[in-house]
Structure 1
Amino acid sequence: MSRVGKYPVPVPSGVTVQIAGAEFIAKGKLGEARLPLVTDAVETTIEGDQVWVKPLTESKRSRMMWGTTRALINNAVKGVSEGFTVNLEINGVGYRAAVEGKTLKLALGYSHDVEYPIPDDIAIKCDKPTSISISGRDKQQVGQVASEIRAFRGPEPYKGKGIKYDTETILRKEGKKK
């Protein structure tokens, strides 16, 4: 039995949800999110200000899609009401970031600056030259952009230089001994 799927998704005030055919639509202050539903495995219903997901059968696919569909619906509702944010930290002498128009410029110790084009649905802010804040309504897209930026110069274990998530802990290694 799904531990996630059995709970309803609460719909906050200011968010409207509807099911149109095999598609879940959530509209809120941050925009609109559309999610294709798996109608052959789970049944999705809206009751008042809650969205319920129930498996159609006891098959393995229905049980797998039960919790997955509920989590995706919850992320869509949270995304249009609050949004998602991922924070990155830059460590290293001379390493810095700046937003110029629709481009993120990163100085990461290479012979050239790395330029990352910012996608349309994503907002990137650099409050300090060593911190990057990525926000948007699609959790998957926010995480993907953060991962792509981190991949330009991942943190190394000896001095901790590079780009890391603010919640990430870098396991430090001891340098060579004489």
Structure 2
Amino acid sequence: MNFEEKLNKGFELLREKEIDYALDVARELQEEQPDSHEAFYLEALVMQQLNQWDISMKAIEKALELSDDNAPYYNLRGNVRMQLEKLKEAEEDFDKAIEINDTSAAHRNKVMLMLMTDRGQEAIPYLINRIKEDPKDAENWILMGDMINKGGQPDKARTYYEQALKIDPDNEYAKRQLETEE
């Protein structure tokens, strides 16, 4: 199996929640090719799954050292920094990910960060703008539904979950939200 095949196998193992095996693959790839940023990214993702934030941070820092123009890496580091309560740095990472590649995941994380830092009044128009810019992103509709639901308007939130299901009919989270609202 070549490097690319092993890397794909590592990501597949991670998706299948075979965490220990995915970590083994990441470490094996790092030994084979110490300059492979993808192997360090895989390790960072594995460690994130294990809530090993400091180790995840070291791995994603190494991946960024090897490839500093990669939006998913900045987004992941932002997530890790949020967990470590380094919120200002997390927002800088999300902004950098957005700058490199206008990624939906980084925009959603930025909204989550706004909510965590009591900037809900800023988060709502930001998310409305994201929905206008990318109306086919079900996750934005779900996030808006969650915000409205937490604000005590379950009927209005329901419309957002329903819209998310029109876009992504298999979205289990949106289905559960609609079931709990009944």
TM-score range, shorter chain: under 0.3
Higher relative contact order (CA 8 A, sep 6+): 1
Higher Cα radius of gyration: 1
TM-score between the two structures when normalised by the length of structure 1: 0.23
TM-score, normalising length from structure 2? Answer: 0.23
Q: Which of the pair is proportionally richer in helix?
A: 2
